[in-house]
Amino acid sequence: MKVTFPHMGHIYIPLRAFFTALGVEVVVPPPVSRETLSLGTRYAPEFACLPLKVNVGNFLEAARKGADTVVMAGGVGPCRFGYYAQVEQEILRDLGVNLRMVVLEPPQGHWRELWQGLRDITGGAGLREIWRAGRLAWRKLTVLDELEHEVHRARAQEGERGATTRAWQRILDQVDEAGSVPEVEEAARRGKVLLKALPRREGEAPLRIGIVGEIYTVLEPAVNLELERVLGEMGAIVERSIYLSDWVKTNLVLHSLHLRDDREEYRLAAPYLGHFVGGHGLESISWTVRYARAGFDGVIQLAPLTCMPEIVAESILPKVSRDVGIPVLTFMLDEHASEVGVRTRLEAFCDLLCARRRQKEGGTAFAGVSRH
């Protein structure tokens, strides 16, 4: 069996570690590119969410490299994610592509299915082996998320353009190559040293921008046109509302044990939105409030075009922006989004945030919402 899975940020690193530790051969799809997108948009329905199109492109590219099995997450809730795996399976079948799809349902209420799916992929691995493989994968995931926070800070003040991005790529490779938890710790230690040694430039305090929105668009740089890197190189520190390790902890672990506590999200969003709308729509509101209270300069909302939960959030954000006094810029992205268009909007947004900072220092308030 040669297993593949969709790309989403650096998730390929813990997933590769997990399956390899269980003796399963892994075929990581090539990084998301224009070719991936072009394959996905050619064969997926036009009105499908962008992540589904990218997934289809990933699977077709992985099949060319010899993958024969796709591992895909299932989903529940009011948006379309719950149907992704089934729709993707139909598309592959229509194309005559010989890829078997194993859907791992979220564990809440589906423990048996999840367990059976894992045993099916791993040829009957026992609980102890799965636990060990999971521990290695989890440590890789948490280390990368911790280091990525530092990368965002370092990039905003780097003395040499591109040095942080090169260092981050080295860190990703070293963590990917680590074969045990102690080796992951060592890779993390070296990564911290590497980031600390980067030349920094002195100057004004960097802008601080919070990123909210749909998880896939937030986490996959090829889909958001490397927005975090571009903002960092413009001198802004970026913080995300979603890191993969937090998502796994909250949605897969705490939720399954009935220990998930969303009260703070609901409390912050309550004046604007009183119920779950699927995806991360509610969190886009609560995190915007949180960023404003934490003194951030602005917020950027990212979502695929036609994303239902984020359309709900987008319609509410202008009021949130006015009430809490923080500018919000929305990008609804699809396969036609261009790097130049995104960069131009980001430059204008950063100019606006700088002007607003100066105005505030002079005693006048200012807030605005912009949509791409």
How near is the Cβ of 309 to ligand SF4 at its closest, in Å?
5
Instruction: Please state, in angstroms and rounded to a whole number, the distance separating the CA atoms of residues 29 and 16.
Output: 11
- Binder of ligand SF4 out of 14, 40, 309, 327 (CB under 6 A): 309
**Would you count residue 305 as binding ligand SF4 (CB under 6 A)?**
no
Alpha carbon 75 to chain centroid distance? 16
Among 142, 112, 160, 125, residue whose Cα is nearest residue 10: 142
- Binder of ligand SF4 out of 16, 80, 290, 356 (CB under 6 A): 80
Sheet containing strand 369-371, strands side by side: 236-240, 207-213, 298-304, 328-333, 369-371
| Residue with Cβ nearer ligand SF4 (51 or 106) | 51
Size of the site for ligand SF4 (CB under 6 A): 12
Among 110, 113, 114, residue whose Cα is nearest residue 134: 114
| Residue with Cβ nearer ligand SF4 (74 or 232) | 74
**Would you count residue 106 as binding ligand SF4 (CB under 6 A)?**
no
How near is the Cβ of 250 to ligand SF4 at its closest, in Å?
16
Query: Do 326 and 367 contact (CB within 8 A), yes or no?
Result: yes
How near is the Cβ of 213 to ligand SF4 at its closest, in Å?
9
- Beta carbons within 8 Å of 320's beta carbon, 6+ residues apart: 272, 285, 288, 289, 328
Helix (H) or strand (E) holding 331: strand 328-333
**Would you count residue 214 as binding ligand SF4 (CB under 6 A)?**
yes
How near is the Cβ of 79 to ligand SF4 at its closest, in Å?
3
| Residue with Cβ nearer ligand SF4 (82 or 107) | 82
| Residue with Cβ nearer ligand SF4 (37 or 236) | 37
| Residue with Cβ nearer ligand SF4 (56 or 79) | 79
- Beta carbons within 8 Å of 294's beta carbon, 6+ residues apart: none
The separation between the first and the last C-alpha atoms of the chain, rounded to the nearest angstrom, is: 44
| Residue with Cβ nearer ligand SF4 (22 or 103) | 103
**Would you count residue 308 as binding ligand SF4 (CB under 6 A)?**
yes
How near is the Cβ of 301 to ligand SF4 at its closest, in Å?
12
Helix (H) or strand (E) holding 207: strand 207-213
Instruction: Please state, in angstroms and rounded to a whole number, the distance separating the CA atoms of residues 143 and 199.
Output: 23
How near is the Cβ of 16 to ligand SF4 at its closest, in Å?
24
Residues 21-50 that bind ligand SF4 (CB under 6 A): 49
Instruction: Please state, in angstroms and rounded to a whole number, the distance separating the CA atoms of residues 263 and 276.
Output: 12
- Binder of ligand SF4 out of 143, 175, 307, 342 (CB under 6 A): 307
How near is the Cβ of 61 to ligand SF4 at its closest, in Å?
21
Query: Do 72 and 85 contact (CB within 8 A), yes or no?
Result: yes
- Beta carbons within 8 Å of 228's beta carbon, 6+ residues apart: 152, 211, 221, 238, 240
Collapsing DSSP states into helix, strand and coil, what is residue 4?
strand
Site string for ligand SF4, 141-180 (x = CB under 6 A): ----------------------------------------
- Strand-pairing partners, residue 71, are 102
Residues 267-286 that bind ligand SF4 (CB under 6 A): 278-279
Q: Which residue has the tokens 């260092």?
A: 167
| Residue with Cβ nearer ligand SF4 (235 or 281) | 281
**Would you count residue 14 as binding ligand SF4 (CB under 6 A)?**
no
Stretch of 15-23, 187-195, 305-313, 319-327 lying at the interface with ligand SF4 (CB under 6 A): 305-313
**Would you count residue 304 as binding ligand SF4 (CB under 6 A)?**
yes
- The residues binding ligand SF4 (CB under 6 A) are 49, 51, 79-81, 214, 278-279, 304, 307-309
